[in-house]
Structure 1
């Protein structure tokens, strides 16, 4: 059999597609992912004139590989068809969504659909030059949000490289793209699946107390195990007592005084003391006076204020500024 060492995979595939003719090629294209179509089309457009002996060698190699035991061609479509024979359609759709990762035609489109927090947490461990390349390829507003979440010194290194950046060589760009696809996107796809109980815990966190008690009570009657699992995953205002002193102080800097006053109006003395002891003596006295002067307040208003503070704490935790200890009463020591 003739050898085809000078050809890469996409080039061999492009030759085969041209060899089988438009009708058969169209059927194969219909079964391919958009990224595969793009890569294959690019290879086809760059082929030029192919000698007959090289075409024959590619066809022989393909036939030989196809005939070898254990040599199979896998794709998104073949995987999906196989899963549909054994799993419900909804479950297959969920699995395929996880495998494919964020939506988008190209790698850079996909990155644009990744939250800035997740992307920043990954990029902060990369070389500044790599981060600069990535931020020049995504949309400016998304790049701005990512840049704002990077450590200050590191962000400045990235900015300086972006300012000095000229046209990135194709090979370097493809290298960055391959790394993102192999490391970041594959890991993201594996971690994107969300447990249903975690989602319900977030929903319960947003309910007011009366609605939460009513629905949780009904769920306990129907499925006590699920109710206990959801309750263990919920993070409420009272759980803020698991913050260390530095975490409480960081949270206080980002919370409006009026909202804190309203939230503590409906809180127990232990929760109030948590905030008081992390304030100056004068600020704590003023806050006590404001709470006392507030008079009767609606429970719903208190719930909304406490929920807003919990949401602020979670956002700070996502940014790495504080640590939330869920599921235990342990405190952290820096």
Structure 2
């Protein structure tokens, strides 16, 4: 089979492979390069149920004596796994399957975001907390935070603990996830585990909660796992959030921070942050700060990081005392 022919009729090729059985299909796949195998496998996994006349049209291109047979459905994960293991070996087939089914899982779950958060919360409210955590992990943080707020308040810390500790999702749970999705979506498929950074998602969700709720959740999480809270807070309160602060907040921070510490912290900072900082200062003071930064010359990275931590710690202190309004994520504003 030529590459051009395969690309032009990838779906037809997938139908043929599905109908010829695992052994024969594996022998065909052995003759193809990696990209062709990837395309064919994705096509085999996503084929809908086919009618006899559709299958007959495909076979008519290859065999004049083809006789119609029962319709062919998309390949199950088990079929593809056995076939690819024979063609490529397990070490090569598993990453390919993870990619295909992991991407499908993400697409199916993200399609739920067209539903009202209240509907999603209703969908998962009676499920095991680990299942609820999987849904929260794959939803957009905006939607996930709204769903979380519609679940029992006393379960928030436990759910976010589970989200933050997700590293992969077991195939057995994938089937259960799909059953729930199928209640709202007509997209049946089988899934495989897929990697996910739960701490990033948990941080994004917490940042979008009301301040009192986020503090309560962090307190609850700290009882479960103090080290986890440290990781979450290091992502919530990092130097990059200074770019999201208002001019009033930055102005107060710059007034209170030691100027030598400020000059060190701004070493290597982004042009956007530098511009925002200078914009809060009188021209003469801004010029002095520029000269102080340049006058520092080469500074150890550890010293810069320490100065930045001190600056962020002061920002948190000012926020907790109510002196400034802390913005933890980029939010649209109206003039």
Fold match, TM over 0.5?
no
TM normalised by structure 1 equals 0.31
TM normalised by structure 2 equals 0.31
